[in-house]
Structure 1
Amino acid sequence: MNSTKIAVHQKTPTVTVLNNRGHVIRDIAYHRHPDSLTTTDERITRHQYDARGFQLSSTDPRLSDAKRTNFRYLTSLSGQVLRTESCDAGTSLALSDAAGRPMIAVSQISTDENGKDDLSRGVTHTFQYEGSSSAGRPLSITEQLAGHDALITERFIYGDNSQAAKDKNLAGVCTHHYDPAGLTQTESIALTGVPLSVTRQLLKEADNPDLSVNWPENNPDALLSAEKHTTQTIADATGAVLITTDSAGHQQKVTYDIAGLLRTSRIILKNGTEKIIIKSVDYSAAGQKLREEHGNGVVTTYTYEPQTQRLIAIKTEHPAKKKVLQDLRYEYDPVGNVLSVTNDAEETRFWHNQKVVPKNTYIYDSLYQLVSAGGREMANAGQQSSSLPDSSTFDKATYTNYTRNYTYDRAGNMTQIRHSAPTTANNYTTEITVSNRSNHAVLKTLAATPDKVDALFTPGGQQTQLMPGQTLAWTARAELHNVMPVTRKGAAGDSESYCYGADSQRILKISVQKTGNSTQTQRVIYLPGLELRTGTEDYQVICAGASGRAQVRYLHWADGKKDHLRFSYDNLIGSSGLETDGDGNQLSQEEYYPFGGTAVLVARPDAGIDYKTHRYSGKERDATGLYYYGYRYYQPWAGRWLSSDPAGTVDGLNLFRMVRNNPVTLYDNDGLAPEAPKSLRQLAKDATKDFRRYTTKDVQAYMGGIGELGGHAFAAAHEETEIQIDKMSKKQRGTEFGVTLDKMSSIITKKVSSYKPANSYDAEPAPVSAKDRSGLIGVPVYGSADKFSAPLERDINKNEIIYRTISEEHYSKLVDTGTLSATTETSVSPALAYSEKYSGVLVRFTMKEGTIAKLTDIGGAVNDPAGKRLGLEQLGSGWSGHRAGFKTEGNQMTIHLGKGTGLDIFNNNIVTYNRMKKMEKIAA
C-alpha cells in the first residue's frame, strides 16, 4: 500500500462506548477521504435505553445533527418490542399471545413529527392458531388493508394420524399451505425431514395483477389452476439430495465425495438426453475448491493466499483447445478490501493514443466505502441507465478507460456518481437527492429537493416511482407487485407484474408489451430447479444449481428446436462474466461497473445474448433494469435498494445502503444483509457440513449455546465458543466485520470433531465421529432425549451419569467408604468436559434417577437455596445459570455439593462408580 492509502486510515479507530450495564450507547467512527487527508469527520451513532435496560432509540450521525432519530422502540415489561418507529420503514406494531406466538402485526403506519399516527394506508395481519387442546399450530393468516375487508391470505392443513399419512411421514406435518400465489402441497417426507414430493399449483387468476386472494375454509381448491407442478427428490440416509426430478420430468443427479462435498452432477432430460455438468471437483484439506472440470471440457482452478485464505486467482481455460478464457487476479489491502482485479486472459489494447489495460482498480475511504474506481468500458457505452448497452462482437469491440467517483453523506447514502471517460467524451454526473427526514433517496430527476423525496415512498419505505412516469405498486407485504415502464394516454401501458409465495420469493413474472396493434405477453413460472418461460417462444430453463463459481442453465424447447447449454463463470462477488456453450466455446463476456451496470458486453453473433438473464451479482435482471435478489430489488444506476430492509437493522441504521458501499468486496445473497467474500462462506459451509439437516439459524444458535446440541459436545463447544469470541472480539474490535459465523463454526467444529464422549459401558471413552448424523455431533447413544435436560447422560436403567476428578488419596477413601468425602473437590458435573480439565483420577458416578433434580431443589452451598433461576430455554445464555443449584465454573455447568445436605444426597444416591483414567492436567 502506498503512503496515501496508509494515511487515510491513520488514527481512525472504531470506538465503542458502553454504559455500566454493558449496553452500547455510542459507536464512534472517524471518516477521512483520500482527497482530503487533513480533514477527519467524527461520526457518532447514539443508542438510548430505559431504566430496565431495554433499548429506546438509535440515531445515526446525519439525523442526530438534525435532532431526529432513526428508530424508536416501545417494549413490554418482558422486553418484547411492541412498537417500532423507523424513519425509513415507518411505524409498525407487533403483539404476541400468552404463548409468545405472533398474534397481530400492523405495518405501513405513518407517524408525523408530533407523534400522531396515520393509519389510512395501514396493513393488519392477524394470526389464528389451533386451540389449547391441540398442538397450537397456525391455522390461517388474515390480511386487512385500511378501509377494506379482511382477507384470509394463508391457510394451513396438517396431516392426520392415519396409516396413510404415517407411511409418508406426514402425520402432524403441514401438507397443504395455501398462500398468495396458490397452493404448496407436500405429499411425502423422508425420515431425515427432506421433502420427497412437493406440488405447486398457481391460482386460476394468477395473471390478474388486481387479484387479492381470499381462501375459503371449504373447497379452497376451487380457486386453483388445474395445472400441477410436482418436484420429486431422492435423498440418502444423511439427508443429502441425490436425484431431483422437476415438474417437466427432467432429472438432476449429483454425487458427493467422502467428506460430503459435491463431486459430480449431470442432467438427464425427459427425452433421455444426458449432459454432464460437473465432471470432477478437487478440494483442499480445508474444503476449499481447487479445481473444477465441467462437462464442456472447461476447467476452472482457484488459488488462495496462504496466510489469509483469500481467493487471489480464478483461472478458466479449455485445456484441449489450449485456450485461456478468463484469468482473474485479485489484490487486497490488509483488511481484505479488493484493491484491483486483472484479467490476464485479455490483451492490453491501444486506442486513440491511450493504453487500455484489462484491469479494475479501487480506492476506499477510512470507513471502507468505495470512493473511486477505474477500469475499461466500451467506447459506445453511453450514460448508464435502466437499459443495457448494445453488445458488440469480439473482433469489433473498442474499449476506453473510465473513472468513477462516488460521494456519500454521513449516513452512508450515495449522493453522487461522477463518471469520466475523456477519450469518448462520455462524461456525466448522476445526482441523488436524499430526504432530510430519513434515508429515502431518489434520482434528482424525480425530486430536486430533499423535502420532496418522502412523498415518493410508501409509509413502509417502498419507492413508488422508478423513473419519471414509471410507477411502482406494492403488495400489502411490501413486495414489488407491478411496474409500469410505459404509460399511454387512453390506452393500456406496458407492465411487468410479479406474484410471490408465503416466503416472499417470486413464483410468477408476467411482462406485457404493446407493439403496434399487437400485445405480447411473456410469462415465467419459477419452480425448484426449473423456469417455465412462455410468450413469443415457449421453452424451459433447467437451472443446474450452484456449481462453484459457475451457473449452468440448460435451455430446452419441447417443439424440437435445438437445446442450448450455457455455462456462466462468476467473479468474486458472483457476477456473471464469461459465458461458454456446451462445447466450451466462448459465447459472451460481460464486465460491470462497481455498483452494477454493464461496462463491457461482447458476444458471438449467434450467442443469443437475450437468453442471458442473470448478470450482476449472479441475480436476474428484469426488463425494468432492476435486479431481483429474493427479498428486495436493486437499482444499479443509483447504487441503492428499492425498498427498506425487511430484516431491520442487521446491516446498520440505514435500511437502503447497498453492501456498506463496498460492492467489489462484499456481496448480498438475498437482499437482507451483505456477506464476506465467498472464500469465507465456503469455509463456513465446509465447517458446518455435518449439520446437514439443520439450518444456518440452528448453527448460529448452537454457537450461542442455545441451539440443537445436547450432551458433552455441547459443553465442550460452548466453552471453546466463549474463549474464541473473547479473543476474536479483541482482535477485530477495529473492524466492521466482527466475529463471523464462518470462522467461529470452523473453530468449534474442530473442537467438537476431536471430542470423545464417554460410552456408558466402556472403561475408556469411545470415539464418536463428527460425521455420525444419527443425532447431532457428539451426542452419546444414551444421551438425554431432552436437549435442555440437566442430566446429560443416563444408563440403560435411566440412572444419571455424573463426573468428577479427585486426588488419589480421596479416591482411596471413596473405595474404602463408598462415599465421596467432604473436601474442596465436591464440585461435580454432568459434563465430562468439566472434570477433564483437572489433574487426578477421573471418576464416573452412576446415580439414581432424580438425583440432579434433588440437588437442584435444595441448591448448593455457594448458591442461594431459595433462588430459582430460569431454565436454559428461557435464559438463552448457554449453560450458565441453568437451573437452581447450578453454577458456572470455567464456562462449564457444575453442581457444588458443599459439605452438608447436598453431599449427603449425592452419597445416598450413588449406584456405582468407575475409575475411568488418570488425568495429568494442571488444575484450572
Structure 2
Amino acid sequence: MTRLFSYAILVLVSAFFLPFSATASSYPYISGHGVNFATGNKYVQETDVRLDGPVILSFTRTYNSQSTENGVLGYGWSSPFTSERLLIEKTAITLIQGDGRHVRFRREKDGTYINQVGPRLTIMKTGTGFQLLQTNRDIHAYDTQGLLTGIALANGGTITCAYSGTRSVSTRDEHGNTAVVALKAPPLVSVTDSLGRTIRFTYSGGRLASIITPAGTFSYAYDAQGRLTAVKRPDGKTRRYEYTGQRLTGVIDATGLRVQTLSYDAAGRVTASALAGNTDLVTIGYPSALTRTVTDSMNVTSTYQLDATGGVARVRSFTGPACNACGGSTGASYTYTAAQQISRVTRADGSATAYTYDASGNVLTETEAAGTSLTRTTTTTYTVHNQPATITRPSAVKSGQRVTTAMTYDADGNPLTLTRTGIRNGAATRATITMTYTTLGRIASIDGPRTDVSDMTRFAYYPDTAAQGHNRGQLHTITNALGQVTTYGDYTPLGNPRKITGPDKLVTTLGYDHQGNVLSTTAGGITTRFTYDAAGRLMTVERPGKRIVRYGYANGLPASVTIHPGHKTSWSRDTKGRIKRQDIHTSAGARTFTLGQHYDKAGNLYALSYPGSAVERHYYDRAGRLVKSTDPSGVGTKYTYDALNRLLAVTRAGVASARHRYDLWDNLVAVTDARNNVTTYAYDDFGNVVRETSPETGTSAFVYDPADNLTRRASSCARAGSGRRRHRSRPAPWHRSGGSASFSYDQGGRLARIKDGTGQWSFVYNALGQLTSETRTMGRTTSRVRYGYSPSAGNMNALVYPSGHILRFGYDPADQIISMTLDHQPLISNISYLPFGPVRSFRAGNMVFNRDFDRRYQVTRMNGGASDRRYTRDKNGRVTGITNVRTPSLAGLNATLDYAAENNRLQSVIGANAGTYAYDANGNTLSDGRHAFTYDALNRLTAVSANNTVLATYTYDAWNRRTSKTTGGRTIHYHYDQNNLLIGESLANGTALRDYIYLHGEPIALREYETNPGLYYYVTDHLGTPQKLLNAQGAVVWQAAYLPYGEAQILTASVQNNLRFPGQYFDAETGLHYNWNRYYNPKTGRYITADPIGLVGGMNVYAYVGGNPVNAVDVEGLTAEVISIPVFNINPQTITTPILAIPQISIPAIIISVVFYPTELADGTIPPGMFNDDTCKKSCPPCNPPIVTIWYRIDYVPPSKPHYPFHGTHVHLYKMNQNPNNCQCFWQPIGVTDPPLPPGSVPM
C-alpha cells in the first residue's frame, strides 16, 4: 500500500456560524430530491468542470423549476458566471445569484445597500460600478450595468470575466422561422483565474453551445423549445434531461439510468419525486397556504406547518416521523427573528436551544438546554468584517472563570492567530497558533502552540508564472517541523498532482480520467488500477497479479461486491433505497451468510434479523435517541438521557450497569457501576483529564504541554513518569521511576531505533516503507526478525525467525493466504475460506482440518486431527453446548469467590484454590496467599516471590511486551513479529527453544528444539485456544482440558506448550497467564492488576472478557472481543470513488481549532500502537457512547447550499474514538455517503 501523509489538518467552521442541527430541519427542503416543499420548487445543481488549486475555477449549472429565467442555458437553468448580475433600481438592488435565487437589497442613508433576510450582506457603490462582500470575504465586482466583472477571493486569488459587445442574436424556432432577439446582457466569452486558467464560452442561437476548458470541451444541446436536453463531456459521455412544458421531469445519467423522475400540479409545484428505479418516492400535498404533507414510499406521512414571515417560508413545527430527507425529529418546533433566523429550537423531548444575533445577523449567543438547570451559553464577538473575534464560554474548572478562544486577522481577512485561554495544570494559561501567508494570500506556515520545540509546518507553491503550465500556483511542498518534505508535482488541468514524493523519497504516480477519477496509482513498482462506469461509479479495483474486486449496482446504488473465485456479497433494498438484506454467496451460488435490516417509521434501524428467527430490536424516542435495545434472547437494555442529550444511565435486565455524570461541557466526571463504586475524573479547560480517582486504582494525576500532549503522570504509589514530545508531537525520550526510554526516527519519519533499560531495537524499511528487519540487542545477545515482500504485489511473503528458519506464504487472487512452507517444505496447504470470511479448511501434513459454520459465520463444528467438536448456540449466538469432546471429568476444582463491597477487588477464594488477596494503592495484587508480587512504575509485574525467595523476574520492552523471564537460574528471551504475536523463545545465549507459527493470528504449528525436537501441529477450539498438539503422523503429543476460565488440566505432555487463551502464555512458576499488558489468573477468571485503559475495557477493571470466556477473548489484556458475531460484514458505505486527499490549505474566514496529525500509514511497517509512549497509557474514562460506535448525521441541505454529487439523502458517518494521551473522546470522520445507515449506528 502506498504510504500517505497527512499534515496540518485544519478543523474549520463556516462563517455563517448557525448551528447545523438548527438550520437543517428548519428548511422546507427534501435533500437528495432537491425539492422545496413550501414553494414546490425543484432545484438541481450540477458541476460540469472543476479546476482545483489555490483558486478553484468551476462551471456549475443550477435548475429551478419555478424560475422564469430564459437565459443562455435554457428555461430554468442558470450558472454563476452567465447569470449572476445586479438589477439596479433607484432605491434598491436585486442580486440575481448564479443558483437562480433573488436577494433584495435596500438602500441605506449612507449609500450602501443591505439585504433584508438572512446574515447581513452589503453592496457598495464604487468608481467603476458596485461590489458585494460575501460572508466568506470574497468580493464580487459588477460594472455600472450590474454585470459581474470579477471576483477577488479571500485567499488572494482572482477570477476575471470578459464579455462580447453583442446585445442581440439571431435565433430560429422549430418551424425554421428566424428572429433577432435582444439579450438582457452581452454574452460572457471567458472567465480567467489568477493562475492563468481560462474557460471559454461559445454560443449558438442565443444558447450556450460549449465551454472550452483546460480539461476539454463540454457541449450543450437543446430542443426546439430551447430547453437544455443534453450535456456531453470531453470523453463523449452524455447526461440528458426531459421536460413536460418547461418543467424538468427526468434526469438520465451517462449510463442511460433515469436517476430522477418528477411530476407537478397545475400550479407548477412538485407533487412527486423519485430517484433511480422509482426508489425513495416522496409525494407532496398542499392542503393550505401554510400546511404541507410529505408522504414517503412506505406510505408514512408527516405534516408541516410553515412560517412565512418576511416572505421566506420556514418550518414552524411538524407532526409525524418526518421524512428521512426532510430533517428534524417528531414534535420539533422553531421560532424565528424578523430576519428569518432561528431564535429557538424546541425538540420533541422539550429541550431547547436559543440564539441571539447582532445587527449583521451573526450569532451572538447560543444557549443550550435553555430554561433548565443544565443551561450553558457560548458567546461570540465579531470584527468589523463579521469575522469571529472571541468565543467565550464558562469554565468547567473554576466557577466564575471564562474560557476564551480569540482570533486576529490581517487586512485581507486571513486569520493570523488563534489563542485559547483557560486553566491548564492548575493555572491560567494560553496557547497560540500562528499563521503566515504569501504575498498572494496563500497559507505559508502554521506554527503550533509549543514554545519548547519547533512545531511549525511550512507550505511552498510553484511560481505564479505561465511557464509553470498546470503547476502554476499549485502546492509544491509541505515541510513539517522536522524538516521532512513532501513534494507535489505534474498537475493535471483539473488540479490533481500526478506525482507525489514523500520525505523518504518514495514516489507515487497517479493517473486520472476526464472527471478527475483516479485511474491508477503506482508506488515502488506496484500499480493499482481503477475503472468506472460512464456515470463515474467505481466498477473494478485491480492490483498486480490480476487481483480484481468487482462492484455491481442496482438503480445507481451499491448492490454487490465480487472477489476471486466469484464469491459475492450482495444487498437488496426497500423502496426507500435502504438495505433490507445482505447475503453472501459462493461462486457456485450457495448462500453462506445472511442478515436482515428493518426500519421504523422515522427511518431508524429498528431490527436486525439473523437466521433461525433471531431478532435484535432497537427502540427510539421522539427525539430519535436510542432508549431501548433487546437482544435475540429478549434481554433488554435501556438508555436514559438528560436535556443535553447526554447518556445518563444504562440499565440491563433491570439492573443499572452504569450511571454517568458530566460537567458543564459534557466531560464525563463520574461513572457509577452496579455495585455503586464510583470512578471520578477532573478536567482542565481544554478537555484533558487531569485527575482520575478510582476505588480500584486510587488517584492518578496528569500534566500536559501547550499542545495537550501528556508529559507527566503520577499515581497513588508515588510512582511517576515524565516525557516530552518532539516537534510533531511524537514520543521523544521519556522517563519513569527506575527507567527511561528514547526513540529516534529516520528521514521518512519512521521509527528507527529504541533504547531502554532492557536493550535496544533498530528497524529497517524498504522503499515502500514496509518493515524488513527488526534487530534487538539484550545484553550480549542480538536477535533479528526479517520480513520479505512480493515485489509485484507488496504483500508479505516471507518471515525469517530469529532461529533462522524461513516461513513463506502463498496467496490467491483474493489476497488470501492459501499455503505456507517452512524452509521450502510444505507446512500448511489447500487453505480455503468462506466467502469474505474465515478459514474453512486446510491440510497440515497428512491431516485435513475442517470447520463448519452457520449463516451468521459462527463455527458449528471443528474436526480433524483426531478431534471432533460440535457447538450449539442460543439466539444471541452464544455457545451453549460443546459435544464430542474427549475430556475427563474436572470435578474437585470448584471454588467460591468473595469480593469487596467498596470496589471490585477479589478478597478471598474458598475451595481448591483457597487464598486471600492484598493490593497496593494502584490496585495491583501484592499477595494471593502463596506469592508476593513486585511491580515497576508502569504497574508491570517484575518479580514473584514465595517464602521470601524470588521465583522469577521479568523484563519488558517499550510496548509492554515481555522480553525475558528468569527463573531457576535460566533466562528465556521472547521474540515477536510486527503483529505482536509471540513467534519464538530462546536462551540468553541465543539458543533457540521453540518457534510458533500462526495463520491469521491463530497458532497453527510449533517448531520445538528442546524437548523432543520436531514440527508439531495445533488443534484449537472456536476461540483459538490450543486443545492438542499432533506430530506429523497425527499422534497426540500434548493435550489439555480446560475449566471455563482457562485453567488447564494437562492430559498429555511429551512436548511443552505454554499457549493458552488467545494472547496468553502459561507461567509454571505462578500458574498465571501472561496476557501482554497484564497477568491473568485462570483459577479466578480475573487479572491481578487493574485494566490499564480503565473503564474503557469494562465496568469491572479486573474481570476477564466481562465474564464471558466461552464467547469472547482478550488478546491484549485490555478489552474483550466477542467472536460470536459475523466475522465479515462488508459495508456498502465504503464503496466510493478513490479520492486523493491533497491537503486543503486555503484558510476560510474562521479557524476554530487547528489539529496536527502527522500520520504515516504503511502495510507491514510498525504494528498498530507501536508509536505509543507507554507513559501515556493512562486510565481513561469510557467514551459516551463507547468507542467504535458508529454515529450518523443526516445532511438536510437547504437549496442555497447543495452538496453535489449526492443524489439522495446523504449522511455523514463518524466512529467514536479516544485520544490515549489526553483521554478526549472524539468522532472520527469515516466519510459521506447515501443512506441506508450502517447496522448498529446511532443518530446525532
Q: TM-score, normalised by structure 2?
A: 0.36
Tell me which of the two structures has the higher relative contact order, counting C-alpha pairs closer than 8 angstroms and 6 or more residues apart: 2
Highest Rg: 1 or 2? 2
Q: Kindly indicate which of the two structures has a greater share of residues assigned to helix.
A: 1
